[in-house]
A and B are shown apart, each in its own frame.
Chain A
Amino acid sequence: AQSVSQHNHHVILSEAASLELGCNYSYGGTVNLFWYVQYPGQHLQLLLKYFSGDPLVKGIKGFEAEFIKSKFSFNLRKPSVQWSDTAEYFCAVNAGGNNDMRFGAGTRLTVKP
């Protein structure tokens, strides 16, 4: 089965700093890739997703992610973070055609005002 690694457990940034969160997966076949976000006290919600086509995917709230197949990576980026981006971010992968969604351990982002 596929697995997901998120390299950063806790990232602390000041407002307006740029963000990049790493995500690598292990699976040799076709994959669907996701980033989910969990704001404090709220449910997990989808930030963005990649299925096919343009490897640079844009999501909500100014987030984007780039799928680099040769590196098995799907890193999340935002050019300028806000205090309201403080949350936990989860990368997830499922092999195309099934519903076995695997998640990384999550990266907690703290944005200082």
Chain B
Amino acid sequence: ETGVTQTPRHLVMGMTNKKSLKCEQHLGHNAMYWYKQSAKKPLELMFVYNFKEQTENNSVPSRFSPECPNSSHLFLHLHTLQPEDSALYLCASSQVTYDTGELFFGEGSRLTVL
């Protein structure tokens, strides 16, 4: 049990589908993140939410749309994805203070785009 729960764990979708990934953290943290993990590449930071406000968007294509309704929940809405978007999508949370910044990760959602 990591304190960060992601669903679904596996998702297969066509390029014209619309789906969503869900993340919930039970740690009382005030920041949540989406990362993309592809083989042999650094984890790519996609989105950061501090206190429910988006503070980082690293040039992510608009076919990925995040939503953070409260500090415990984070969604990633997916629409008209490309096969190269197939990857493991990781959600993380942290308590944002100057001296910490440690991330707590979920187990990931494995996405395959056909």
Encode contact with B along A86-113: 1 for CB under 8 Å, 0 otherwise.
0000101010110111111110000000
B74 to chain A minimum Cβ distance, whole angstroms, is 14
A51 to B100 Cα, complex, angstroms: 8
Q: Say yes or no: A101-B108 contact (C-beta < 8 A), given A9-B40, A43-B2, A96-B98.
A: no
B105 touches A32 (CB 8 A): no
A5 to chain B minimum Cβ distance, whole angstroms, is 9
* B: contact size bracket: 20 to 34
A35 to B3 Cα, complex, angstroms: 19
**B-contacting residues, A16-54, CB 8 Å:** 32, 34, 36, 42-46, 49, 51-52
B60 interface contact, C-beta 8 A: no
Name the residue of chain B whose CB is nearest to the CB of A4. Answer: B42
Could you say which residues of chain A place their CB within 8 Å of the CB of B90? Answer: 44
Could you say which residues of chain B place their CB within 8 Å of the CB of A96? Answer: 98
Q: Say yes or no: A46-B102 contact (C-beta < 8 A), given A99-B94, A100-B56.
A: yes
Name the residue of chain A whose CB is nearest to the CB of B106. Answer: A43
B102 touches A103 (CB 8 A): no
Q: Which one, B4, B42, B55, B106, contacts A103 given CB within 8 A?
A: B42
A65 to B90 Cα, complex, angstroms: 25
A62 to chain B minimum Cβ distance, whole angstroms, is 20
* A: contact size bracket: 20 to 34
Name the residue of chain A whose CB is nearest to the CB of B95. Answer: A99
A residues bordering B, Cβ < 8 Å? 4, 9, 32, 34, 36, 42-46, 49, 51-52, 90, 92, 94, 96-97, 99-106
Can you name 20 A-B residue pairings with CB atoms under 8 Å? A4-B42, A32-B99, A43-B2, A43-B108, A44-B90, A45-B2, A51-B99, A51-B100, A90-B43, A96-B98, A99-B48, A99-B55, A99-B56, A99-B96, A100-B48, A101-B103, A103-B42, A103-B43, A105-B40, A106-B42
Please name the 7 residue pairs, one residue from A and one from B, whose CB atoms are nearest each other, closest first. Answer: A103-B43, A44-B105, A43-B107, A105-B42, A43-B105, A103-B42, A43-B2
Q: A44-B92, A99-B101, A103-B43 are in contact. List 15 more A-B contacts (CB 8 A).
A: A36-B103, A43-B105, A43-B108, A44-B90, A44-B103, A46-B102, A51-B100, A90-B43, A92-B103, A100-B45, A100-B48, A100-B56, A101-B101, A103-B42, A106-B40
